[in-house]
Chain A
Amino acid sequence: MNKIVFTLVIFLAAIAIAILVGPTPLSPEVIQLRLSRVILGIVAGGILAFCGGMLQGLFGNPLVEPYTLGSASGAALGGSIGILIFGTISPIFAFLGSLGVGFFVYTIATVEGGLLRDRLILAGVIMSFLCSSLVMMIMVMGGRELYEILYLLMGYLGVIINPANRILIMILVVISLGLVIFLYRYHRELDIISQGLETAAGLGIDIQRFSIVVFLTTSLLIGSIVSIVGAIGFVGLIIPHVSKLLFGPRHLYNLPASFILGATFLLLADTLSRTVTVYELPVGVVTSLVGVPFFIYLYKR
């Protein structure tokens, strides 16, 4: 019980810090700007960690993370192409990129007998490499837009919300939160799958259908997040582990905890990223720099 209270207190504190702390003095405009960052931070951090927990559970593999299955790299590629054409970040291109690559990975992993789970991971990793090379190529060709692509690759919460993309971002956020609730209903299935696929099938879980539903839904989620804030690393890999250390193996508890902890972590990392140096660092740099020592400490404890 006190763990839950503690987690929520830290979460609220992180929100307060993210709004109050910064180099510029507080004014209504600054608060509004930071508020939009906070909302994006909660949604992105929460969903990345939640999806990480889902996928680690589905594949029974602690090294799987949201980006393993390729949809994030697809978003980065789509976004880069968008930057090359329009000279500015366009979420639609990133989203289409992630859908395209996610679908491609799915096609590679499907044979006539159905979806092969091991192949899904392999196909995702391979497609990620392909997308990275293509992004590098675009970076070399693009020249001027290098800076923006870098932020797309490393993550950036300070997306300027202008009238043109406000509605799109709001729709993506609402749909994403809906999909999270949709996925959360599978907490029991994930508990059972941790005991092996045969046990799960014996208890009445249709593994094929379940894997497909979770893969497609998480791909859609990751695609929407990355298309807005870029490919923020580390949160989706590490937070689910922290959540399991604190709240135990039952997904009923550790999935929502992953969401809250992921949101907290990303808010704090973002605050650091915009205060620690004169320039704003990509938030992905900070999540890794701060997260790795913290995680080593937790695991060694």
Chain B
Amino acid sequence: MTAIEVKNIQFSYNTEDVIEDVSFTLHQGEFLGIIGPNGAGKSTILRLVCRILTPRLGSVLIFDKNITMIRRKILAQQIAFVPQETYFALNFTVEHILIMGRYPYLGVFQREGRKDIDAVEYALEQADVTKFRKRPINSLSSGERQRVVIARALAQQPKILLLDEPTSHLDLHHQFAIMELLKKLNTLGISIIIVNHDLNLASLYCQRLLLMHEGTIYADGTPKSLINEKTLRDVYGTSVKIIRHPDRDVPQIFLHPQGE
């Protein structure tokens, strides 16, 4: 079953085209990674898919329905977005932040009910942040905050989860924990699209990759089929060495410093 179908979308900020004629599909249950150099349009794609931005041309279908025909709150029940960095201007408790994830389900003046509380409890547990529930968000470390933001997205009970560089500026432990969490959510049936700069992480965890270059899709396929020395040199302009991961049949990338 098709979860997302992107058809020939184009998008521009001001006059410069950022996305030129991009099409791809996400099947339900897939774990898709979008990789590519800075400015290739990776984050823009995520924003177009969840209607934070609107394409100039082309269309985005979620479960065969054009997203411009779906009410925003209904769309937010299907698809949740985790921005690259969330700044918390007000110091809510973790619990309250998760309750905000129930916004798409609540009518005006409607109070949170049993179903909402259950969804929040489930999300707290899945993301392993129950122990922080009463803590003010700004008292947590950035890795812990990122888990809370993912938990808020889970409280939306989405079928599709979009994440924009969820592991950037996190330490090794938190990178690993976040990726393992996403893998677990994926096995529970949530389709995932993740934008990631860390090619090794993407190669290890994603079933399929989209390699973007200058606003277009340069390659679309499994990590093994797509990550090779020639492609990376063409797209990143950097020569790398690639070997197989010791335990898994996926490519891992090594840089070699100059002069040696």
Contacts and interface: CB of A to CB of B under 8 A. Distances in A.
Interface stretch (B3-11, B21-29, B94-102, B219-227): B94-102
A192 B104 CA distance: 11
B140 interface: no
A9 to B, nearest CB: 27
A250 interface: yes
Nearest to A198: B83
Indicate the size class of the contact surface on chain B.
Answer: 20 to 34
A206 B103 CA distance: 13
Contacts of B88: 194-195
B108 interface: yes
Q: Is the interface of A mostly helix, strand, loop or mixed?
A: loop
Given A198-B52, A249-B90, A206 B72 contact: yes
Interface residues of A, number: 20
Contacts of A189: 103
Contact of A203 (B47, B87, B104): B104
B109 to A, nearest CB: 6
Contacts of A202: 50, 52, 76, 80-81, 83
Contacts of A166: none
A204 B52 contact: no
A203 B155 CA distance: 11
A250 B76 contact: no
Given A202-B81, A202-B83, A250-B96, A194 B89 contact: yes
A191 interface: yes
Most interface-central of A195, A204, A244 (chain B CB within 10 A): A204
A203 B89 contact: no
Nearest to B43: A198
Nearest to B70: A204
Interface of A: 60, 185, 188-189, 191-192, 194-196, 198-199, 201-206, 244, 249-250
